Each structure stands twice: as C-alpha cells, then as structure tokens.
Structure 1
C-alpha cells in the first residue's frame, strides 16, 4: 500500500513528519514524500525515504502557476497510484486533495495545524483571500473518503461552525508528536554562566509568534533592574507575509536585548541549556516547541489562545498570559525568576503531561488509525511496536 505525504517545505517533512514516514515504512507502507525543493530533501533520502520536489511556491497567487502546480500533482498521483494522500498545512491540504480527487486516489487525509496567515492576519490581503480559501476548503476537504486532522479543540469547533467539513469526518490529534525520551535525556544540562536566568523563544520569526511582545517584555524587565539572558532561536520565514525583517532582529541584538542563535538543528541540547521557554503566540495548531520544552521538564510561559492552552494549564504545568500583553509576559518571567520552587514544580508537571499526551508514539498510532478508517482494514497495516 502506498501513501503520499505532501508538505509546503522539506524542512517540515524532516523535522515534524519523518518519524511518521519511517513508522509507515515499518508498518508495510510504501511512502513518497513531496514538497518544494530544499536542502532537507537529501536528508530524508539519507534516512532511506523517497522524496521528490514539486514546483510549488508558497506565496504564489499567479493563476497560471497554481494551475500548473495542480496539474503536476495530478500527473504525479496518476503515475504513483497511491492508496492515500496526506496533506499538511492549508495550501497542501487543498491542492493535494483536489489533485487526489482528479487522479482517482481512494483516500485523502489532511492535517491543518492552525488556521494560518489567511485566517489570523488583519491584513487586507488576508481578509480578501479568506472567502476564496473557505470555498476551496469546502470543495477539497469534504467527502466520505476524506478525514481532516486538527490539533486543538478550538479549531475543531471553528471548522464545525464554519461548515467547512462534515463533523463526522474531523479527528482531533494533538500535535505532530515529539520523541519525549530524547528531550528528557537533555534536561538539566545547563552550562556554567553568569547566574542570569536564560529565557528562550524558539519559533519561526513571525510577528504573530509574539516577537514584538517578547522584546517589549525584555525592555520592561531591564527598566525594572531584572537581569535575564534572553535568547531567540529561529530564522525569518520569507514565504510568510508576517515575517520579521532580519534588519529588525539585528537591531534588537545591537541593542543587547537578545542573543540571536539563528537556525538551531539540535533543539534538545539548546533546551537543556535554558531555564524557561516562552511563546507569546497569537494562535497555534499545537506548538511543538512548547511540547519539546515540556519534555525537558522546563517551565513554560505562553498565551491563553487556541493551541497554546492545549499544552499549558495555567498554574499547573506552566503560566498563561493574555495575548499581545507584554506587561503580563514580563510579570510572568519575573515570577519564575523570583520563585525557583514554582518553576521546578511547573516543569515537572509539564514533563509528565508531554509524555502522557504528546509523545510521537501516541500521535503516530492515532494517525495510523485514521488511515485504517479509510483503507480496507484487511490491508491497512498498523505498526504493532507503537
């Protein structure tokens, strides 16, 4: 049985879905990964996975280019004849599903991690695109032979209220899964330093990840005489209209507000070297960074918004602050600095929650169960080692 996994970057496939792809192979599936070209394609191939580039431009609105992409996908699927196509993110879900329908693919699974730029940005461009994208989603994602995987209960309610997909075809699977044992092994490896609490924000460097509020909170703490070491990991995402300009980030560095680490491959080691992880995002599917940090036993500070509150229960395994509120964020950071016992308690509880709810074995098993719903149960293998 063959499955095609389609994402908008090869980086996403490598970092978030390679465990799923390898589990599918072990379960007896033939797996093809497709995405726009990039350096992680060769890394996927080095793992023994089959990967092919497709001519997709994430920000393109050119009708001819988009039709060419759709036709490319249709021809690819007709050639490969998979049993199932699994698309990740809204654009891949829509295009992959439309192509699958045209190519006669028997089953379609789509995973939408958050509502994305079109649904959360107040920009005029995003608001104009919204009804178009809604219409395409209704056309592409529906049908008895399709399932939609969402990562948090808020998005489930939103899709149901909007009538985008039949409620009976929505499945809630929290996150893309994290190897909790790998991250737990790096806990408490903080190197010797100057005694300042090390606070990390790790994400794509987008305004809607709360970067403006994070920097404002650091400024407020400095004015209060509260010295911390703020770290920023990640790079601007040129394919996203909400990307923070690199010049702005370098300005923060010159102002000595943050240490910018750029792209970090070894997140487990980085998380083992810090004291607190923050993510003041405006909305998420289910943020992997928070789950990875939780697996390390770190206290978390994030916003009380969809996705983030799936990972953190305020005062239980982290702290929640109002969205776009730098003052509350600064207060939460200072609270953990001034109360190490609270920070340890929250971190311990976060580790337990990560292992019991967000481990990759749980997520992969639930995903395989969705595949089995759509494929012949007699021929749809389930990996017994999970």
Structure 2
C-alpha cells in the first residue's frame, strides 16, 4: 500500500486546512500518517483513522537545540516509516522536513507554501540576513528530483522562483485549502443593524488593530454598524494582541469580542460583510474563502493572498495596508449601499463554487501525488 505522510506544525491547522486532502488520499487507497506536535486535537486526528506521530515543533521558536531535535525526530521517522510520499505543510515542516527527506529514503515530496510569513519583508540587517539564510534553506529543501511545490498565489510563487532558485517546472498553483460548500447554505442577510466581522487569529499583522481603529472612526461618524472580533490571541506570534488589549476593547465597547468560534458558517450567516485588513504573509486566507461560500461581501487588503481571494469590485473591496481611515470608508460604503453589498455576496458564492470547492482542491492535490509517484 502506498504510504503518504503529512507533516504540519499544528494538529488544529491540519484538521482545518488539510483534512479533506488526507481523506481523499485515504479514499484513493493510500495509507495516511500525520506528524504534528502533541496537542489537544491529536485524538481527533486519530478518530479520522489516520496514524499519528507526535514531534515537538515550535512555530516561532529559535532555540537551536530545540530546532535540531525537531529535525532529527523527523529524519528518524522518515527512515522508520519509509513513506512513498511526504506532504509538508507550513514553513518549518517545509524547511526541516524537506532537508530530512533528502537525507532519507523518501521517494516523493510535496511542499505546500501556505504563505511566506514575514521573513521576506526584510528591513534591518538582521532581517535581511535571516531572509538570506531562509532562502538558502528553501533551495536545499526543495532541491530533490521528485519535488512538487504548491503555492496558493502567484506572488509567493514568483518570489521563491526568484530568490530560492526554484525551477518553474516544480511550481504548482492551487488556490487555497478549499471549503465544503454544503456546510455553507447561503441565507438572506439578517434583519437589524449591519454587522461587520473580523475573524482570524488576533495578530497585529492580520490587521485586527486596524479593524478596531476603523470601528472607532465609524462610531465617530455615527455609522450604524456593529463590529465583531472573532478569534483568539496566538502566544507564538510576537504581534499577537495581549489580554489587556482585549479587556480594554471590551470596556470601550467599540467592538464586540466573541473569542474563538468553530461555527463559522453560522457566524457569517448572521453578519453582512467579512473584513480582513491583513498585511501578513498570507497564502490565500481561508476566512475569505469561507466568506465567499457564505455569500457575504468581503473587504480586504491589496496584498498577496488577500487580493487573490476576491474579484475586486465584484465580490468585495480592496483597501490599502495599514490605513484604518480607508478601511472605515470601505465598511461605511457597504453599510450604506446594501444592494451592492448583496450583489457582491452573490458573486462571491459563484466564485466559491467555481474555484474553492474542497472537492476541486483535493482532486488537484491527488493529481500531483499521482504524477510524482508514477515518475
């Protein structure tokens, strides 16, 4: 039986972004193993019938000893499992796992670049040095003969082709992680005040502070809109919102902080627009795909990944990065232009049906698997 191993830096991320691909692989007769750090969601991974292996993996840690332990554990597992194909997801698995694959009997490798993070926005000397090192690591990790690299947007693809010397023949474009359209029944907009929702990890780079600033401006303008913040802080990211900030926002009352939610389809059905003013190194933000599936208009930034998730002017609006006043203008426009807002939502659903169906995304992944394994 053909053995496929997924390596992801979070079991939650595997379940939310790669589960349908793993299930499709199982349906094709592959034996699927999953490597993630230990965590609360590991039992759920096993309940889906996958063999799980726990490897400590810090998403943002830079302790050389801990990073070396992660690399060695992956290398040892690859020798023990001897997989036919390894599917690496997110930055550290791609870098460490790709090199470990080259030093072990792994036949084929899929490297999924779900955003490049902040490393390629180098400003200081230290950041430029880090970019140089990471570029060289990408070059080594993706240098094997039977490697396919999946990008979610053209900007990331073109950047790694340029700075990491990635051959164009290895680059594949698949737009995001997909969404189960049957989970998102399009409903009419709810009655009552217009609701704009920000739903993501609560990171500065995701634009949550810009959203709160825009909400303040809208209140000053007396625009009738309720602004909702959905998500939780991420202690592994230096730009995360701190607990005292959340408490201050709640006390101020300018936004409603709802915390982490799993019922995204129900949440979006109860709002009128979805807002993500991100300047993070996005691949293709799943929340924008989910917004399209729910038939809701989108406001996001003119930034790689974000702009790739919408058709500007048809399914949503683009705003400049880090400009809360322009963000407030866009929200106010969709509050006041209800017919345009509803038309954008309807077009968004059509976009989701044509481009973002999870069945389409899974099929594209399996085609890459078959091509590599038959080489």
Aligned to 2:188: 188
Distance 2:19 2:345 in 1: 27
Deviations 1:166-185 (A, max 9, x none): 111000111011112211x2
Shift of 1:4: 0.5
Shift of 1:267: 1.0
Alignment of 1:1-386 (within 5 A): 1-120=2-121, 126-183=127-184, 185=185, 187-188=187-188, 190=190, 195-283=192-280, 284-376=282-374
**Contact 1:187-1:271 at 8 Å conserved across structures:** no
**Contact 1:294-1:351 at 8 Å conserved across structures:** yes
SS in 1 for 2:238: coil
Deviations 1:154-174 (A, max 9, x none): 111111221431111000111
Which blocks of at least 5 consecutive residues in structure 1 are unaligned? 378-386
The worse-fitting range, judged by mean Cα deviation, of 306-315 and 169-178 is 306-315
Distance 1:352 1:333 in 2: 22
SS in 2 for 1:310: helix
Shift of 1:246: 2.1
SS in 1 for 2:288: helix
**Contact 2:85-2:108 at 8 Å conserved across structures:** yes
Deviations 1:66-108 (A, max 9, x none): 2221111111111111101111111110111111111120111
- TM-score, normalization: structure 1? 0.93
Deviations 1:113-150 (A, max 9, x none): 11113224757764442211111111111232111100
Shift of 1:186: 5.6
Aligned to 1:382: none
Give every structure 1 segment of 4 or more consecutive aligned residues whose post-TM-superposition deviation is greater than 6 Å.
none
Distance 2:104 2:66 in 1: 19
Which blocks of at least 5 consecutive residues in structure 2 are unaligned? none
Distance 1:196 1:241 in 2: 35
Deviations 1:200-222 (A, max 9, x none): 00011111111121111111111
Q: Aligned residue pairs: how many?
A: 373
**Contact 2:33-2:50 at 8 Å conserved across structures:** yes
CA RMSD of aligned residues (A): 1.6
Distance 2:174 2:29 in 1: 22
The worse-fitting range, judged by mean Cα deviation, of 113-122 and 303-312 is 113-122
Distance 2:124 2:223 in 1: 36
